[in-house]
Amino acid sequence: MDTRQLIEKYHHAWTNGDFVTARACLADNLDFQGSINTFSKADDFIAALTEFKQMLFHF
């Protein structure tokens, strides 16, 4: 799988609520620095992403 395919797989997974597949696309020690949160573990990032996605469905 090349980089583009991996990114497309990740994006499709998280936008469709498939967080198991989205997590599988990430390195365990990812480094995410956003405007609100930072994460150094993929599991923590996916947990936050799951909560964020659930908030979107409630509006």
What is the domain-level CATH number for residue 33?
3.10.450.50
| Number of domains the chain is built from | 1
Q: DSSP letter at 58?
A: T
Answer whether residue 59 shows pLDDT above 70.
Answer: no
Coil, strand or helix: which one is 42?
Answer: helix
Domain assignment of residue 50, given as a range: 3-57
Please tell me the distance from the alpha carbon of residue 46 to that of residue 28, in angstroms, as a whole number.
11
If pLDDT is split at 50, 70 and 90, which confidence band does 32 have?
very high
The structure's pTM equals 0.83
Answer whether residue 58 shows pLDDT above 80.
Answer: no
Please tell me the distance from the alpha carbon of residue 57 to that of residue 32, in angstroms, as a whole number.
24
Answer whether residue 10 shows pLDDT above 90.
Answer: yes
pLDDT of 43 reads 97
Residues 6+ apart with CB under 8 A from 23: 42, 43, 46
